[in-house]
């Protein structure tokens, strides 16, 4: 019976052979235990893919045209793929490397690339490549825009064929870690680490283990209170420590392949070490020391700030919070603790600077957190291909050392020589038939995995791969969909938030324009616009946030003249009459970009409509309906933002367009 959900980029539909079929007449496996679950998954995937795309069925043989062998000289997750004299050889350092190598073979076949003469040497750049799910046990998903959870339903854990397909999709792009539940752990999810759920959780962990993926859970830091019947969660309290020792031993007795826990504490009403006058390191290290004998790690989120700050005090700055709360503890965290740091200092805006903690910390394991779920970037209604943003983050030069000082170096371990590092994404999947709500949003899931494995891949390469694997190899489809995806982040930025100011969204919902709508607007507007200008002064004369960076970044951001214009309003309060490098005034730039954004959405729609006869009707209709909503959204942003700033500034559009 056909699944009720799609297979996304693993559909394995018929492809032109390009001479590849001959390599799969016979297959040999040398040096690997064929009873190993990951090896078995690799072989199953190979057979499934070759059958679907080439209509062939590989046969096992001692002397073969496709040889898979173990090479201890390679990284455990690395592989080489070579072809010589009609024999295709996949060598891998370990079972995960073998699995990733098989997906490399299948990817090339799907893209109709000849395997003759192929020579690939691959190993992951980031040691841990993780998906963070914000799924709740009532089957809702916080910031979920693709339906409900397929992990939970009515406070029960669900394990079925969809779980397996999800593990396949994740492994196919190199994911090796998954957190199944929301970082904002509600009381029901606290019970995941109790007898009620252990059996089902262990069953799910086994599914992911079959595809080389470590299983993690988000942990309620106050579990001693929530489920332990205690009145304290003080990390230095011997009774609290004793409770956790027993609980973690119990977890590993029931879930032996548990990778560890993700923890959010002391933020947005979450209890944490600060509640008891302790440091973040005290809390993280207490758990890390207990879990260490089991080989587990603690991933500690750095999203810590006071949501009740008085924004009327212009020296108060949420952007400073991450750095201020963690920099003084650099070096205090134990080896099996990783600090998970959001890409920007705020909250997944379409444009914000790179967090100064990335590179600011010089003695601590660091992990980059990005958001694939489009909380502030269109809710998977508006097309917003995020790889250009992620590339900017990874390539950012922090100046934290004389060499290997880019963010991608820090999270790969090159900078500090450490291995407990990596990259995580708040992922965008749900139980919608196509996994991601908008079919085009799947490019962000695919792209995150590929970029985490190989940080040197370009946004263009990743987009083309995904299009070919998803829609086939028709040149017109590739050209048109590439033309939609690649500029879409810039387009979204144009019709929403100018020059790094961010926010201006409907409170709590985070979709649709509300210029003064930041959640904590009772303390004043976030963008701090008045009749003379707009923006937040984060220079040495303002909140001082710019000085949290290493030089020369600090001086660059501190000056209005040298600050990159795409971040100008993030760092400075700028007059509407200020002249940008384009020769336009700031206010004219705001007007023009908001009109341009709408026009670009209209061009995207026209490009998509030109593919009606080449795209499956269900997919075509899904994307078309989303484009209709995106156009409405873009027009509303244009009209509300332009009208707002016209009324604030009193300066008309020099092009004479109607400003509502």
pLDDT above 60 for 536: yes
CA dihedral 354, 330, 319, 359 (to 10 degrees): -10
The least confident of 22-31, 280-289, 519-528 is 519-528
pLDDT for the residue 523: 47
pLDDT for the residue 189: 80
Active site residue ranges: 268, 347, 375
Mean pLDDT of 171-195: 93
pLDDT above 90 for 310: no
pLDDT above 80 for 119: yes
- Alpha carbon of residue 549 to chain centroid: 24
What pLDDT digit, counting tens, does each position of 375-413 carry? 999 999 999 999 999 999 999 999 999 999 999 999 999
What is the pLDDT confidence band of residue 1, given thresholds at 50, 70 and 90?
very low
pLDDT above 60 for 291: yes
Mean pLDDT of 365-369: 98
Dist. CA 172–CA 470, nearest whole Å: 13
pLDDT above 90 for 518: no
Got the DSSP string for 422-475?
EEEEE----SSTTSSSSGGGHHHHHHHHHHHH-TT--HHHHHHHHHHHHH-S-H
Task: Return phi, psi of residue 25, to 5°.
Answer: -70, -35
Whether 325 contacts 280, CB under 8 Å? yes
pLDDT above 90 for 525: no
Whether 565 contacts 581, CB under 8 Å? yes
Closest CA to 216 of 334, 111, 300: 300
What pLDDT digit, counting tens, does each position of 194-227 carry? 999 999 999 999 999 999 999 999 999 999 999 9
Got the DSSP string for 188-217?
HHHGGGSTTTHHHHHHHHHHHHTTT-EEEE
Eight-class DSSP state of 539: S
pLDDT above 80 for 270: no
What is the pLDDT confidence band of residue 257, given thresholds at 50, 70 and 90?
very high
Eight-class DSSP state of 123: -
Eight-class DSSP state of 578: P
pLDDT above 50 for 414: yes
pLDDT above 70 for 309: no
CA dihedral 495, 496, 500, 502 (to 10 degrees): 180
Q: Which tokens go with 494? A: 């144009």
pLDDT for the residue 2: 44
What pLDDT digit, counting tens, does each position of 80-92 carry? 999 999 999 999 9
Q: Which residues pair with 323 in a beta bridge?
A: none
Mean pLDDT of 475-502: 97
Q: What is the CA radius of gyration of the chain?
A: 25
Got the DSSP string for 45-96?
HHHHHHHHHH----EE-SS-SEEEEE-TTS-TT-EEEEEETTEEEEEESSHH
Alpha helices, H only, 173-316: 187-190, 198-209, 223-226, 238-254, 280-291
pLDDT for the residue 524: 56
Mean pLDDT of 173-190: 92
pLDDT above 90 for 180: yes
User: Starting at the edge strand that comes first in sequence, how are the strands of the sheet with 119-122 ordered?
Assistant: 59-60, 26-30, 66-70, 87-92, 79-84, 119-122
pLDDT above 90 for 77: yes
Q: What is the pTM of this model?
A: 0.97
Q: Which tokens go with 312? A: 């009327």
pLDDT above 90 for 456: yes
What pLDDT digit, counting tens, does each position of 144-173 carry? 999 999 999 999 999 999 999 999 999 999
Whether 139 contacts 177, CB under 8 Å? no
- Alpha carbon of residue 557 to chain centroid: 26
């Amino acid at each position: 019976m056909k699944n009720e959900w799609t297979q996304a980029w693993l559909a394995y539909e018929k492809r032109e052979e390009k001479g590849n079929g001959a390599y799969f007449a016979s297959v040999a496996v040398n040096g690997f235990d064929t009873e190993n679950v990951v090896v078995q998954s690799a072989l199953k995937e190979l057979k499934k893919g070759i059958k679907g795309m080439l209509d062939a069925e590989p046969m096992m043989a001692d002397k073969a045209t496709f040889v898979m062998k173990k090479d201890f000289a390679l990284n455990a997750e690395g592989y080489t793929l070579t072809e010589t004299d009609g024999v295709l050889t996949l060598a891998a350092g370990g079972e995960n490397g073998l699995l990733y190598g098989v997906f490399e073979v299948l990817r090339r076949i799907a893209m109709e690339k000849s395997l003759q003469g192929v020579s690939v040497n691959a190993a992951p750049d980031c040691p841990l490549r993780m998906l963070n799910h914000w799924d709740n046990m009532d089957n809702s998903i916080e910031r979920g825009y693709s339906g409900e959870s397929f992990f939970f339903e009515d406070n029960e854990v669900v394990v079925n064929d969809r779980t397996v397909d999800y593990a396949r999709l994740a492994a196919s792009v190199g994911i090796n870690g998954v957190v199944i539940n929301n970082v904002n752990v509600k009381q029901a999810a606290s019970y995941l680490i109790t007898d009620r759920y252990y059996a089902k959780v262990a069953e799910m962990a086994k599914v992911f283990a079959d595809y080389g993926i470590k299983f993690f859970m988000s942990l309620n830091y106050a579990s001693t209170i929530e489920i332990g019947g205690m009145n304290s969660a003080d990390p230095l309290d011997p009774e609290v420590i004793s409770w956790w020792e027993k609980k973690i031993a119990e977890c590993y007795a029931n879930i032996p392949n548990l990778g560890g826990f993700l923890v959010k504490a002391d933020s947005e009403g979450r209890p944490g070490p600060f509640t008891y006058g302790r440091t973040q390191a005290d809390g993280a290290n207490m758990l890390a020391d207990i879990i260490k004998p089991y080989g587990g790690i603690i991933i500690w989120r750095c999203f810590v700030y006071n949501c009740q700050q008085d924004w009327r005090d212009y020296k108060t700055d949420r952007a400073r919070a991450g750095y201020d709360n963690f920099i003084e503890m650099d070096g205090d965290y134990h080896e099996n603790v990783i600090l998970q740091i959001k890409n920007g200092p705020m909250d997944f805006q379409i444009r914000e600077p790179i967090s100064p903690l990335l590179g600011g910390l010089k003695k601590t394991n660091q992990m980059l957190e990005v958001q694939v779920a489009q909380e502030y970037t269109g809710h998977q209604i508006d097309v917003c291909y995020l790889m250009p943003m992620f590339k900017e983050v990874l390539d950012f030069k922090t100046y934290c050392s004389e060499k290997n000082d880019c963010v991608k170096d820090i999270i790969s371990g090159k900078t500090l020589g450490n291995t407990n590092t990596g990259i995580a994404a708040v992922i965008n999947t749900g139980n919608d038939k196509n996994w991601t709500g908008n079919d085009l949003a799947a490019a962000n899931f695919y792209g995150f995995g590929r970029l985490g494995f190989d940080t040197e891949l370009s946004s263009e390469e990743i987009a083309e791969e995904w299009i070919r694997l998803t829609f086939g190899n028709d040149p017109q489809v590739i050209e048109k969909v590439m033309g939609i995806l690649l500029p879409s982040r810039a387009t979204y930025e144009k019709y929403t938030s100018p020059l790094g100011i961010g926010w201006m969204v409907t409170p709590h919902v985070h979709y649709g324009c509300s210029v003064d709508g930041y959640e904590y607007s009772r303390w004043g507007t976030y963008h701090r616009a008045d009749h003379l200008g707009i923006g937040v002064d984060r220079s040495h004369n303002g909140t001082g946030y710019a000085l949290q960076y290493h030089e020369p970044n600090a001086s660059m951001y501190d000056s209005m003249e040298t600050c990159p214009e795409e971040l100008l309003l993030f760092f400075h309060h700028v007059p509407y009459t200020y002249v940008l490098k384009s020769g336009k005034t700031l206010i004219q730039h705001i007007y023009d970009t908001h009109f341009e954004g709408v026009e670009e959405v209209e061009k995207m729609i026209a490009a998509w409509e030109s593919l009606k006869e080449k795209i499956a009707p269900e997919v075509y209709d899904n994307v078309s309906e989303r484009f209709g909503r995106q156009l409405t959204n873009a027009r509303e942003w244009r009209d509300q933002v332009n009208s707002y700033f016209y009324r604030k500034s009193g300066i008309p559009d020099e092009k004479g367009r109607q400003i509502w």
